[in-house]
Amino acid sequence: MTFATWVTLLGACLIISFTPGAGAINTMSNSLAVGHGRAIWGILGQQVALVIHLLIVAAGLGVVVANSRPAFDAIRYAGAAYLVYLGIRQFSSAPTAAANDPRAEAESAGSMLRRGFWVNLLNPKAIVFFLAFIPGFVRPDLPLLHQYTVICLTILGVDVTVMWLFFAGIARGFRRFTEGERGQRILGRVFGCLFVAVGIMLVLV
Residue 175's pLDDT is: 72
For the stretch 80-117, pLDDT in tens is 888 888 888 878 776 654 444 444 456 789 999 999 99
For the stretch 180-201, pLDDT in tens is 677 677 777 887 888 888 888 8
Mean pLDDT of the region 23-39:
89
Mean pLDDT of the region 142-152:
89
Give which of 77, 51, 71, 76 is closest to 148, Cα–Cα.
51
Alpha-carbon distance 115 to 109, whole Å?
10
Domain ranges for the chain, please list them: 3-204
Q: What stretches of 18-116 adopt beta strand conformation (E)?
A: none
Do residues 122 and 71 lie in contact, with contact meaning Cβ atoms separated by under 8 Å? no
How many CB atoms sit inside 10 A of residue 185's CB? 16
Residue 127 identity: I
Residues 6 or more apart whose CB falls under 8 angstroms from that of 163 comprise 17, 23, 24, 27, 43, 46
* CA atoms 112, 130, 203, 200: torsion sign: positive
Question: What pTM was estimated for this model as a whole?
Answer: 0.80
